[in-house]
Amino acid sequence: MSISIDNPPTINWTGQEIEIIDQTLLPDELKVIRLKTVEDVVDAIKRLAIRGAPAIGACGAYGVVVAIDQITTNEVTQVISEMNEAAETIGETRPTAVNLSYAVERVQKTAAEGKSKEEIREFALTEANKIFTEDRDACDSIGRHGAEELSAYTNLMTHCNAGRLATTGIGTALGVIYGKALAGQPVEVFASETRPLLQGARLTAWELSNAGIAVTVIPDSSACSLMTSGRVDAVVVGADRIATNGDAANKIGTFTHAVSAHNAGIPFYVAAPITTFDPETSNGQDIKIEQRDPNEVRGVEKSNVPTEGVEIWNPAFDVTPAELITGIITEYGVLRSDYSKSIEDLLSKASL
């Protein structure tokens, strides 16, 4: 199967600025914007102009370099202090996706070894480039392992967007789909809308259709019926944080799909790079779930939600218990239960 994946790139470092696709405008407009300041980086991440755990991790990493360029002093101690302050601001922009804080802290730590402002910037940029490249390579490996694991499955369902728009490469969950296509395996995709911001309907459908992969958008509420109809062979989703027991946080609605898949006897896979595993989080109850602006729900087109006297609960993520997950597809291979043991072995191997 001939597919086209990466044009233009989701995130690009120009040498001085960060270029990103403004995903809030898709699918109506494909616009590349430049992030020139820390404020630009924070705003882009917060309003989901760039989104997806690995992508915001890379953006945050380059954001530290942008922060260094904004510092006016050359005094090393002050440069490091101002860099750390900016890095903390960037790293806290979205709390659930562990890739963001991991990437920012990694660049911070490396840059702080510099003996001059120029060397601090050089070290920061080198580390940010490594983070970018490592994620790109991880996506390729996830795609290959996923294609092998799901080689017998043709009709896959996914939720939200875990493709090239969410990473620096071909994606995680969609990386598996691209991996199947690149391996010559037949693949068709059901993409759930992913309310309230419609990342599935707007982004996954746009991305897959542009790549030449057959995709059908379904209402979130129809997924259970679709799975029990026998038209779905397997479900594969991404993740924003995975606890050491295998509990996985992903876009709100994922847990519902996992329960439906379990009820229908369908395999349910999570695809994520090692940077999404959090060694400091033992289970899903300890994962901080980001609460989004209530107007994301009130602002849905043709919404009839009253503007006064009605509260909105709008969590961005939910947590799928490990016992509902068939396997976790990583760049190192497919993890299986007992996840506490397989994740421990993985983190030990990668020295995280």
- Distance from C-alpha of 63 to C-alpha of 77, rounded to nearest angstrom: 20
Residue with token string 């490091």 = 80
Backbone region of residue 265 per phi and psi (left: phi > 0; alpha: psi in -120 to 50; beta: other values):
left
Strand, helix or coil at 297? helix
φ/ψ of residue 333, rounded to 5: 130, -170
Q: How far is CA 29 from CA 21, 150, 194, 195, 208, in A?
A: 10, 33, 20, 20, 16
240 is catalytic: yes
Beta-carbon count within 10 A of 92 CB: 12
State the number of CA atoms in the 13 A half-sphere of 284 facing the CB.
17
Q: Bridge-partner residues for 217, per DSSP?
A: 191
CB 190 within 8 A of CB 173: no
Instruction: Give the angle subtended at the CA of 57 by the CAs of 56 and 61, to the nearest 5°.
Output: 110
For strand 188-192 and strand 155-158, is the pairing parallel, antiparallel, or unpaired?
parallel
Catalytic residue among 40, 135, 220, 240: 240
- Distance from C-alpha of 296 to C-alpha of 275, rounded to nearest angstrom: 29
Residues near 200 by beta carbon (within 8 Å), at least 6 away in sequence: 158, 159, 160, 161, 191, 192, 193, 194, 217
State the number of CA atoms in the 13 A half-sphere of 138 facing the CB.
26
The residues annotated with a catalytic role in the active site are: 240
